[in-house]
Amino acid sequence: MTLDRFFNPQSVAIVGASRQPNKVGYEVLAGLLKGGYPGKIFPVNPTAEEVQGLKAWPDLKSIGQTPELVLLIVSAKYVPKLMQECADLGVKAVIIIASGFKEAGPQGADLEKSIIRIAKNANMRIIGPNCIGLMVPGHKLNVSFGGDLPMPGSIGYFSQSGSLLAAIVDMARDARVGFSKLISIGNKADVDELAIIRALGEDPETRVIAGYLETIADGDAFIRQAERISMEKPILLMKAGFTVAGARAASSHTGRMAEVESAYECVFERAGVIRCESIKDQFDFARAFAYQPLPKGPRVAVIANAGGAGIMATDAIEREGLELAQFSDETQKRLSQSQELSRAASISNPIDLLGDALSDRYEFALRTVLNDPNVDTALVLLSPHAMTECAQTAHAIVRVANQNGPAKPILACFLGAGRVAEAVKVLREGKIPPYDSPESAVRTIKALCRYAVWKSRPARVVKLFNVNRHKVERIIERHVRLQQAEVGEMEAKEILEAYGFVTPEGGVATTPEQAANIANQIGYPVVLKIWSPDILHKTEVGGVKTHVNSEQEVIDVFDLMMYRIPKKVPRASILGICVEQMCTSGREVILGMNRDSRFGPLMMFGMGGRLVEVLEDVVFYPAPLTAEEARQMLVRTKTYDVLKGIRGEEGVDVGAIAEGLQRLSQLATEFPHIKEIDINPFVVGREGTTPIAVDAMMTLEKR
């Protein structure tokens, strides 16, 4: 069922309509009347014959016809009975503004479940409960207590927080931001973010989808739907709770670092969702996406009448990873030989038109740079000097934009307040996004560029490697049968070997003589590691000794470990000591996976060994991975240059690391029982050498 009855109903019934100002039931009806809603309005109030000049009905049944949309503004305990009345009448759309449901505790949660059952049985859709309603400015529909209708526009907005939506409506009115629809989704008992994103994605009146979320119920469905809709329309989201203190503890390095922010950050990136840090950023981005074309590249031309503003913009462009456009010879010639520009003007990028620049200089410079094939976006800066023609310059920018067509985006930043107010109004009316600082404008250009790159990416192709799934199935089935959640190092390595990883040569010894014999066979130096399913972090209990170089040293280390470790962890079952060949060259990195409860397996890459927790330079991305996504995980770390080789050092085989991530991604995707994986360190050498999974740990989902 579509949501059309919510957005364009021919009749609205308000159960709980009130005659008392400052009551929610009064404000909702007053807002509907003030907005000029042209459809039928049915106030329902059992104690009044008239409410705010309209005939009132004692109940829904007495209306004599079925309203297309019903609002319930009553105490929560009465809602189930009213929902049943709606079902009996054939109502298909209900907004429950009432609170006191699952947000209020177990009793309220039971109430919410009961209304969901009624709605499902009647094929009825619910927005709310615990919401402030919705607004559709273009249809003059205001069934909310969020204030007056804002101006119509092409931005569709939804919010899990009603109070935030009310604030956005108020801010938008002052900033002259227009909306197609605004929806408060409250508890999301039925209509959730997925339903709203889908509806706005299909809505011809909406060009940009924006919203505020606190939770996402179905992470996998969110990724799939947001990715599909992002190909057609940008989705700009604020997400609260990115850095929840004390996000769940986990046993692995990967699990400890895969907190709330990491999960949402990488999922948004995969789905093409643009994350906004603030309401201001969201407004800034939304205006540009609503009115301007996407840039074809990162090259920005800056036009200013003050050197300082141009320098600020230049710094911001470099910080955001964009480029100052290099003007073509033809452009430089036109600028240098022009009669319109002062001979003292700087014609390199950023262009400085000087403080006495009038609107004609701006118009000429803007036309010229927009015709340059080396320019992807134009940013126009203005400082209000005594002779500056603020409004005329704004008109000139709009004129050029209209004549230039939708080829390249134009953004403006008019610094100041009172003197530029009229000019800013001209820009807004001309659909040129105005910004209050060069940094805000450049952040917006970065958002436009990132979205353009995401939209133009090639189709995702996930490579499947030839692996031994049956071996992995047997190991996991045995652990499930024995109710063992932790997979020991030796069996974890068996699983990795089944998926094409190479592990160090070695074996497990139960006596010092066996350990010495293994070491003599594989050659020195060797590593000794305690082997126990109950000890996941061996170094913390003195269970790892590297650079063991002789038979006698092997015997001594073996005896010392077997003496000390049982005293430190007396309940641990110690099965022996693993003796392995030691990797003496190469870089240590970490490959990992953490299965997020909302979004499924998240792959992780970072510098390995003990550095992973010191540097915290890690990147996450949802599985399954394509080859390019795996490569980009490496590129996005701060230490990527170390892998490539710096100051004459030879780099390592980054392609082998990317392939390792893809293989691990396939393992995580094909075996949902696996909760966490760490390969740390994964030692990788120069190009053409074989990387080694030196140490590994896995945990399984508890059943």
Could you read off the pLDDT of 446-486 as tens digits, one per residue?
999 999 999 999 999 999 999 999 999 999 999 999 888 88
pLDDT at residue 564 tops 50: yes
Cα–Cα distance measured from residue 64 to residue 206, given in angstroms and rounded to the nearest whole number: 35
Residues in the chain: 703
| CA angle, 610 then 613 then 618, to 5° | 110
**What is the predicted pLDDT for the residue at 246?**
33
Q: Which residue has the higher pLDDT, 280 or 261?
A: 280
Cα–Cα distance measured from residue 646 to residue 634, given in angstroms and rounded to the nearest whole number: 16
Task: Give the domain 4-206 fold.
Answer: Rossmann fold (3.40.50)
pLDDT at residue 22 tops 70: yes
Global pTM value: 0.88
pLDDT at residue 242 tops 80: no
Reference 620, options 647, 600, 649; nearest CA is 600
pLDDT at residue 534 tops 90: no
Q: What average pLDDT does the structure give for the chain?
A: 91
At residue 486, what are phi and psi to the nearest 5 degrees?
A: -90, 130
pLDDT at residue 616 tops 80: no
Cα–Cα distance measured from residue 514 to residue 495, given in angstroms and rounded to the nearest whole number: 25
**What is the predicted pLDDT for the residue at 199?**
97
**What is the predicted pLDDT for the residue at 224?**
93
Task: Provide the percentage of residues in the chain whose pLDDT is more than 70.
Answer: 95
Q: State the angle between helix axes of 106-121 and 79-89 in degrees (0 to 180), rounded to the nearest 10.
A: 0
Ranked by mean pLDDT, the top range of 67-71, 546-550, 571-575 is 67-71
pLDDT at residue 254 tops 50: no
Evaluate whether 362 touches 384 at the Cβ level (below 8 Å). no
Give mean pLDDT, residues 241-254: 44
Alpha-helical (H) ranges within 245-306 are 253-257, 260-271, 279-291
pLDDT at residue 112 tops 50: yes
- Range from 135-139, 247-251, 293-297, 442-446 carrying the lowest mean pLDDT: 247-251
Give mean pLDDT, residues 534-548: 88
- Range from 314-323, 430-439, 529-538 carrying the lowest mean pLDDT: 529-538
Q: Return the number of other C-beta atoms located less than 10 Å from residue 240's C-beta.
A: 14
Do β-strands 486-487 and 696-700 pair in parallel, antiparallel, or remain unpaired? Answer: antiparallel
pLDDT at residue 163 tops 70: yes
**What is the predicted pLDDT for the residue at 598?**
86
pLDDT at residue 245 tops 60: no
pLDDT at residue 385 tops 50: yes
Cα–Cα distance measured from residue 509 to residue 599, given in angstroms and rounded to the nearest whole number: 41
Evaluate whether 700 touches 674 at the Cβ level (below 8 Å). yes
pLDDT at residue 186 tops 90: yes
Q: What's the CA dihedral at 508, 509, 513, 516 to 10 degrees? A: 30
**What is the predicted pLDDT for the residue at 398?**
96
Reference 215, options 237, 236, 246; nearest CA is 237
pLDDT band at 247 (very low <50, low <70, confident <90, very high): very low
- For 675-685, write each residue's pLDDT tens digit: 999 998 999 99
- For 35-61, write each residue's pLDDT tens digit: 999 999 999 999 999 999 999 999 999
CATH number (3.40.50.970, 3.40.50.261, 3.40.190.10, 3.40.50.10420) of 293-455 reads 3.40.50.261
CATH superfamily of 469-581: ATP-grasp fold, A domain (3.30.1490.20)
Cα–Cα distance measured from residue 300 to residue 442, given in angstroms and rounded to the nearest whole number: 9
**What is the predicted pLDDT for the residue at 615?**
59
Q: Which residue has the higher pLDDT, 335 or 585?
A: 335
Give mean pLDDT, residues 271-277: 94
Q: Which helix (H) or strand (E) holds 29?
A: helix 24-34
**What is the predicted pLDDT for the residue at 614?**
56
Give mean pLDDT, residues 111-137: 96
Sign of the alpha-carbon torsion through 257, 262, 267, 270: negative
**What is the predicted pLDDT for the residue at 239?**
84
**What is the predicted pLDDT for the residue at 340?**
81
Do β-strands 274-275 and 235-239 pair in parallel, antiparallel, or remain unpaired? Answer: parallel
Is it true that 469-581 and 587-700 share their CATH fold?
no
Asked, as a colleague might, if the bond just before 433 is cis with ω within 30 of 0, I would say: no
CATH number (1.10.357.10, 3.30.470.20, 3.20.20.70, 1.10.3810.10) of 587-700 reads 3.30.470.20
Cα–Cα distance measured from residue 364 to residue 372, given in angstroms and rounded to the nearest whole number: 13
Reference 275, options 237, 326, 315, 307; nearest CA is 237
In DSSP notation, 157-201 reads EEES-HHHHHHHHHHHHHHT--EEEEEE-TT-SSS-HHHHHHHHH
pLDDT at residue 253 tops 50: no
Give mean pLDDT, residues 3-16: 96
Domain boundaries, given as residue ranges, for the chain: 4-206, 293-455, 469-581, 587-700
Instruction: Using DSSP, state whether 321 is helix, strand or coil.
Output: coil
**What is the predicted pLDDT for the residue at 646?**
74
DSSP 295: P
